[in-house]
Amino acid sequence: MDIPHTVEARPDTGLYNAKVGIWLFLASEVMLFGALFSSYILLRVGAEAWPHGLLSVPIGTFNTVVLITSSITVVLAWASLKLGDLSRFKLYQGCTVLLALTFVAVKSFEYRDKFTHYYVRLQDGTELNGHLAGNPLNWTAANLADTNRVGASITFHPDAAGGEGEGAHGGHAEPIELTAANVAKLESWGPWRSTYLAIYFTLTGLHALHVIGGALVIAYLWGPGSRMWRSDPERFTNRVEVCGLFWHFVDLVWIFLFPVLYLL
């Protein structure tokens, strides 16, 4: 059975069906991210203090440029198909996949940076933020009390500023030794650490899932999916356009996420 209106426009809408479909989907996506953005506003306005400088602006700027560049390669790939040039399409769309992978790799690096950055409260009430020697991932006080490490200690390098935020990317103060006996609380800067980190991980995590999903579809159309170019080139071009619309939306969301989470 043939799916109707994959190439020719429906007389009543003036559009091929997949285009109406993707816009309906994007409308639902606007509401999904809109709900999370409004949650962000609610949390920020209601917070007594909002941290600044927890994220690296150069890294965030780099990822913004990566996504913007991937948007232009997507649209140039589609334009190449319109000009009947499959090899150029492959070149541009291949670049898009690489850029998407770069974005996800950088994001993973940023996430790892948070899960290896720690808040510690000592038994005497002193509160510190910093790094553990060897940068272990997501430790808690339970790791210090590990029976296999009885009597052992781990070196902690406090941030120079001492408080959250300002010293996140600065130098370190004098190191101290942590043991199960002198630590009351130890936790990484995961989503549980603060309201800001909770909404940061929620928004960027959902966005990263969109990047991964979009990259998978783009990679499919670049690889095995491109066989359709030989049998039905116009339909294939429309598939690439629809996929591109989703990708631009992902870029558009990041355009707002970047200043909201990294700069303000």
Partner 1 sequence: MSEHHAHEIRQATRKYIYVFLALLLGTVITVVAAYVPFGSRSLNVAVALLIASAKAFLVAGFFMHLISEKKLIYGLLGATGFFFAGLMFLIVWSNADQFLSIFR
> CA 94, CA 77: separation in Å to the nearest integer?
9
Least Å from the CB of residue 15 to partner 1:
5
Binders in 210-249 for partner 1, by CB under 8 A: 244-245, 248-249
Answer for the pair 197, 191: CB distance below 8 angstroms, yes or no. Answer: yes
Residue 30 Rama label (left phi>0; alpha psi -120 to 50; beta):
alpha
Indicate which single residue of 21, 38, 135, 185 sits in contact with partner 1 (rule: CB under 8 A): 38
Stretch that binds partner 1, among 22-30, 133-141, 143-151, 165-173 (CB under 8 A): 22-30
Q: Which stretch binds partner 1 (CB under 8 A): 41-49, 125-133, 134-142, 201-209?
A: 41-49
Q: Which is nearer to partner 1, 65 or 181 (CB)?
A: 65
First to last CA, the chain: 53
Q: Which one-letter amino acid corresponds to residue 200?
A: Y
251 makes contact with partner 1 (CB under 8 A): yes
Q: Tell me if 253 sits within 8 A of 210, measured CB to CB.
A: yes
Torsion sign, CA atoms 44, 49, 55, 56: positive
Tell whether the torsion through CA atoms of 210, 216, 218 and 219 is positive or negative.
Answer: positive
Place of tokens 């994007």: 26
- Report the alpha-carbon distance of residue 81 to residue 241 in Å, rounded: 10
Q: Compare residues 87 and 148 and give the one whose CB is closer to partner 1.
A: 87
The answer to the question of residue 11 lying near partner 1 (CB under 8 A) is no
Q: Which residues contact 92 (CB under 8 A, 6 or more apart)?
A: 73, 74, 76, 77, 80
Q: Is 181 in the site for partner 1 (CB under 8 A)?
A: no
**Contact between 48 and partner 1 per CB under 8 A:** no
Instruction: Please provide residue 183's backbone torsions phi and psi, each rounded to the nearest 5 degrees.
Output: -110, 125
32 binds partner 1 (CB under 8 A): no
Among 4, 21, 49, 84, binds partner 1 (CB under 8 A): 84
Does position 263 bind partner 1 by CB under 8 A?
yes
Min. distance of Cβ 54 from partner 1 in angstroms? 14
Single residue of 1, 3, 11, 14 touching partner 1 by CB under 8 A: 14
Decide: is 68 part of the binding site for partner 1 (CB under 8 A). yes
User: In whole angstroms, what is the distance from residue 263 CA to residue 247 CA?
Assistant: 24
Give the type of residue at 239: R
Binding site residues, partner 1, CB under 8 A: 13-15, 19-20, 23-24, 27, 30-31, 34-35, 37-38, 41-42, 45-46, 57, 61, 64-65, 68-69, 71-72, 74-76, 79, 82-84, 244-245, 248-249, 251-252, 255-256, 258-260, 263-264
